[in-house]
Amino acid sequence: MSPLASAPFLVILSGWCAGIALSTKLSPPAASLAASLFGAGFLLISTKRWPPGWKRVLPVLLLTVSLPVFFMNLRLHPKTVREESWMGQAWIRTERAWGSKRAVTLASPKGRLLCLLEPEARPLEGERVQVSGTVVPLESLFSVTSEGEFDPARYWRAKGVEFGFRCSSVAAVDPPGNRKTGWRTRLRKKLLLSLSPLVRGHLLAAWTGEKDPEVASMHRRWGTAHLLAVSGFHVGVLGAILLWCLRRFRFKLLVCSSLLWGYVFLTGCASSACRAMGMIQLGFLGPVLAGRPSSPLNSVSVAGGILLLINPWLFWDIGWRLSVISALILCSVVRGGVTPMRGLAASLAIWMGTSGEASAAFETVPLAGLVLNLFALPAFSFLLPVASVAAIPVLAGFPGGWVPLWGMEGLFEAWARFADCTCMVVQWQIASSPWLWNFSAAIVGGAVAYGLETGVSNGLILSLCAFFCGGVFR
């Protein structure tokens, strides 16, 4: 088999990732050339049998790698901006805790701005505000980071922020409007005031993309923090429920797509959710446009690649990385159908393949997560939909609406006890290290080789190359 036949965009995505990773070390032309060589190397190693006409397709494929990388690298060099005073009106797109301050992103005539406000200033998402201050380079808002440390400027650029803003005054002009941010603010307030602690923390994450600090701390301790990030898991569960409910409806795919995109926008358009929704959309459109189902590996690559074209800074977003890695491993391991053994193997491979990224983000990874994640996905596939239904009566103000809510709180408490007991038995933590990162890269390479059916020898070579290339993508 060859990626040219089953997943040609996987070759393109691998080259794009290599080119973006090298953007900090090479000029755009050099990074573009390196990306083409990387894509060609991946194609050569992962090909067991060349399909007919490959000589005509190969130059086009490599050109599709190099040209976008060149232009993406140009965009990865931040615009220079001189400090400039500005006063005007802006929309608050997001606001969240950032250390001892509140990080607020503003949609303004000057572009997408980030300002760090004192905690007593609590602006609301969707508010229209009058602000005054100074537009500054984004990097100037943060202290200088060392190589390999968390880069806050890069993090916010992945969120679409262009410049920093040192705010001297801010005043609300209009309350949250009918924009999605206003709806999120009202929904979040309703959840905070109406629901019990554990149900509230989980539905706050699943419905709005916001994290309750106490519930988030518990999941980090258990190694299941991914359950609180709106991702392919949440979008997939909701999609499966919608398809079942609309199974007799003539336009079920159109209605399901519209509702799922609405959910993604409501939860803040996280990169992991957008990747999952893009993949689902390709799955819906494949039989219509191509006459046959799209390859899952190719769909993951297309969805992840489109996001990079929109915003190449997403390459350094941990949500995008974990989402793409998990989806590639899952689609590769279960390519022949879902069975209990393949499900177990996929869970194990995903944990090992993402442990390098997770340990770099959280400093350590609890080994208990390896055990808990075997039960977490099926458990929360049940808990989150049922809790969502159970919360409706109390949110709507029905008498006695607290009764089903009380039952769901008990189920979440039972899970918390089970997870705490597992952590007491499996107490070890795996610290972040370059070796762990490279090992995770090797697992991803081996899983992709299995999904592409490259054969044992080619698979071992691809896994070994991924191990040594792990440092490039860090």
Burial 200-215 (b: 16+ CB within 10 A, else e): bbbbbbbbbbbbbeeb
Confidence of residue 286 (pLDDT cuts 50, 70, 90): low
Contact (CB, 8 A) for 384 and 352: no
| 306-359 per-position pLDDT tens digit | 999 999 999 988 888 888 998 899 888 887 677 778 878 888 888 888 888 888
Mean pLDDT (whole number) for 111-140: 85
Rounded Cα distance between 359 and 431, Å, is 6
Closest CA to 106 of 53, 153, 162: 162
Question: What is the pLDDT confidence band of residue 178, given thresholds at 50, 70 and 90?
Answer: very low
Name residue, tokens 């500054």.
136
User: Does residue 97 register a pLDDT over 50?
Assistant: yes
Please name the residue that has the structure tokens 């039989």: 287
**What integer pLDDT is reported at residue 78 of this predicted model?**
67
pLDDT per position as a tens digit, 5-30: 788 899 999 999 999 988 888 888 99
User: What percent of the chain lies above the pLDDT cut of 70?
Assistant: 92
Average pLDDT over residues 224-240: 84
Return the pLDDT at 472: 63
Q: What is the mean pLDDT of residues 422-445?
A: 88
Per-residue pLDDT of 363-390, as tens digits, reads 888 888 888 988 888 899 899 999 999 9
pLDDT band at 473 (very low <50, low <70, confident <90, very high): low
Mean pLDDT within 247-268: 85
Cβ within 8 Å of residue 85, ≥6 positions away: 132, 133, 134, 135
Pairwise CA distance, residues 37 & 115, whole Å: 41
Mean pLDDT of all residues in the chain? Answer: 85
Q: Are 36 and 59 spatial neighbours (Cβ–Cβ below 8 Å)?
A: no
Residue 177: is its pLDDT beyond 60?
Answer: no
Worst-scoring range by mean pLDDT, 135-149, 151-165, 171-185, 343-357? 171-185
DSSP β-bridge partners for residue 95 = 104
Domains of the chain from N-terminus onward: 1-77 (no CATH), 84-174 (2.40.50.140), 231-316 (no CATH)
Kindly indicate the confidence band of residue 147, based on its pLDDT and cuts at 50, 70 and 90. Answer: low
